[in-house]
Amino acid sequence: MDWISLLRRAVQIEGSQASVAGKLGYSPAAISQVLNNNYSGSLEAISEKVLTVYGGKTMQAIPDGYMRNAVGHLVPIESIKEIDLARDEFVKEVVHKAKDLAATVTTFKKQLATDLEAFLDLSAEKYGVTLGGVKGNINLVSFDGRYKVLRDVSERLDFDERLQAAKALIDECLREWTKDSGSEVRTLIEAAFQVDKKGKINTKRILGLRKLDIKHPTWIKAMEAIGDAITVTGSCTYYRVYERDEKGEYRQVNLDFSGIA
């Protein structure tokens, strides 16, 4: 089977071009153009991707008149209740639309990152400077002040083994304090070292301990150990778009599905 036939079969089995596009690393529009024979990009590159992702799979088409159930069995459509068929159609329609929308948002974010870097380079050229890559937070405002685009680069922090030394020093402090004194601080400290379901420590809570005004020498040494234990493991880049409302306050253009009323 040639690669274009594999691509068509993949779309048929997975139910949407968006799903296939996501696995191939292309936009749904690009997949549509390929299938309609009007793609202007490199067909060699996309064909290699199709063969890599789908060439080694045995994709069995579902026979006419059947549907596959949740455990993989083929079930005659005539034996499936109408409400089950209606539910199946509704759920798949919603999922396909959501995947298309997700692909659109992903494409928008990638394009925004590229366009923003291009603008920053253009701005820097005025001063004979080459920036070269993402450097930090950026705040761009339209000439009339109505719109604003933000790039927020946040570092991912973690702790190395020295955090255990800090915990031992803090435990030493807690043993010296009586149960009745500093109960609120004790609760705060114990909560800071609790882990979540994935076994991860809350970084903000740990760093929050350094803000406590405690002069005990062992405590001070523990806070130094926490500072030494901090390691930067990476960074996350966020893009936010704002519009000023009639009250003069900036309101974020919400791209979070759960945040839309």
170-177 contacts at long range (C-beta below 8 A, 24 or more positions apart)? 170/209, 170/219, 170/222, 172/218, 173/214, 173/216, 173/218, 173/219, 173/222, 176/216, 176/218
Residues 6+ apart with CB under 8 A from 173: 214, 216, 218, 219, 222
Query: What is the token pair recorded at 86?
Result: 């209606």
pLDDT > 70 fraction of the chain, expressed in percent and rounded: 90
Task: Please tell me the predicted confidence (pLDDT) of residue 221.
Answer: 92
**pLDDT tens-digit map of 51-109:** 888 875 445 567 788 888 888 788 999 999 999 999 999 998 898 888 888 888 888 88
Domain locations in the chain? Answer: 3-112, 136-261
> For the chain, how many helices (H) and strands (E)?
9, 6
pLDDT tops 60 at residue 5: yes
In this prediction, residues 145-149 reach a mean pLDDT of: 94
Task: Please tell me the predicted confidence (pLDDT) of residue 153.
Answer: 85
Taking a C-beta distance cutoff of 8 angstroms, is the pair 43, 2 a contact?
no
Task: Please tell me the predicted confidence (pLDDT) of residue 183.
Answer: 63
The mean pLDDT of the chain is 83
Structure confidence at residue 135 as a pLDDT band (50, 70, 90): low
**pLDDT tens-digit map of 170-180:** 888 888 776 55
pLDDT tops 80 at residue 261: no
In this prediction, residues 147-170 reach a mean pLDDT of: 88
Task: Please tell me the predicted confidence (pLDDT) of residue 125.
Answer: 81
Query: What is the token pair recorded at 251?
Result: 């309101």
How far apart, in whole angstroms, are the C-alpha atoms of residue 118 and residue 222?
45
How far apart, in whole angstroms, are the C-alpha atoms of residue 139 and residue 130?
19
Task: Please tell me the predicted confidence (pLDDT) of residue 260.
Answer: 56
**pLDDT tens-digit map of 197-244:** 777 788 888 888 888 888 889 999 999 999 999 988 887 888 999 999
Task: Please tell me the predicted confidence (pLDDT) of residue 56.
Answer: 59
pLDDT > 90 fraction of the chain, expressed in percent and rounded: 21
Beta-strand runs (E) in 160-257: 230-244, 250-252
How far apart, in whole angstroms, are the C-alpha atoms of residue 248 and residue 99?
35
